[in-house]
Structure 1
Amino acid sequence: MLFIISTDDIALDYLGSVCDYRGSFDKDEWYEIPPHKIITFSTKLNDDYVFIPKDNFYNIRTADFTFVRNEWFIERSINEKMMSLISYGNMLYDNTVQVPFPLPQQNAYSFEKNMIADFMEKFDFDGSNSNNSVTIHSNQAYVEINGDKVKSLYGNNILD
C-alpha cells in the first residue's frame, strides 16, 4: 500500500517494494468488491518509510486508487478495437503512399505515425474520463511522530 507522507514541504520517499504492473487491465486482473462490503487492513509505515529524526508533524494519506464499473471494461474493449483498426489503416498508408515531392524535415505539420491514436489518447479514449470510473484516496491524517523513536528497516540515521 502506497502512502503520501510529508512534513514541512518534505515528502518522504517510499522505500518498499513496487510491482511493475504492466498488465492488460483485463477484468480478471482486478479485485471485485461487492456492494456494501467493508475492507480494512493494517500496515507498518516504518517498514516502507524512514521518518525524520526528532518530533515532526506529518500529513499522511493513501495514494490514489481507481474503481471501475463493469461498463468500463466494455468501453475499453470497444475503444481498443477501434484504435487497432485506425492504427492498422495508418500502417497500410505508411507503406504504400508515394509522395512525389520532398517532405520538410521537421515542422509543426510533420506527420506522426500514430497521430490519430495520440489525439484520441488526449481525450481519454480508454474510458478513463467516463462515468464508469472514479479515483479516490483516503482522508488525510495529521499526526506527530518522533523519528528518533521509530525503528525502521532501513536505519534511522538518514543524514549519513
Structure 2
Amino acid sequence: MTQLAAGQPVHVDPSSVSTIDHLSFLVRVVLPGQATGGNFAVAEERGRLGCMTPRHLHTRESETFIVVDGALEGWCEGKSQMVEAGQILHLPANREHAFRVASDQAHFYLIISPAGFEEFYPATGTVLDSSAFDGELPMPGPVPDEKVQQLVAWLAPKGATVTGPPPFALS
C-alpha cells in the first residue's frame, strides 16, 4: 500500500528508502511531506558521539525528536536537555536551537512540521545505497567551509539561518 499522495494511506518500508550521509548523520526520509499534504515529514537518523548541528533557527518548522536508542542533547536558547531512549524532545520554530548525539551512538526519528525542510537532506548531503543505513556510522569531524557555505545558501530561502557554531563541547 505504498502511496505518496496526500489523504491516502501510506505504508513505507524504510529499507527501500535512500540513505543520506548528512553531516556524518545517516538519514532516511521515511515519510516525505508530499505524503501528508505538507503537514509534516518524518526522518529516521543514526549518528555517533561527535555528531552535532550548529546553532540555527527555523522561521517555519518545529522539530520533534523521538529517541529509539542512545541519547541526544538538545539545546534551545541557552538551555540544554538530555533525552534518552523512549523520550521525546520538541524544539519549536522561531527559537535558536541545536542538538548533538550524547552517547556512543544514537538512533532517532525526527518529525518536521510543517513539511518541506526534509528536502535539505538530499540537497546538501550525499545519497548512499539504502542498505548503508544499517552499516558503519561515519566518523564526525569539522564541516569544511565550502560545505558550510552550501548549507547557508540552501537554508536562506527556506527561512532558516545558521546563527553560530555548536553550543556543545567537542568530545
Which TM bucket (shorter chain)?
A: under 0.3
Looking at secondary structure, tell me which structure has more helix per residue: 1
Looking at secondary structure, tell me which structure has more strand per residue: 2
Which of the pair has more CA radius of gyration?
Answer: 1
| Higher RCO (C-alpha 8 Å, min separation 6) | 1
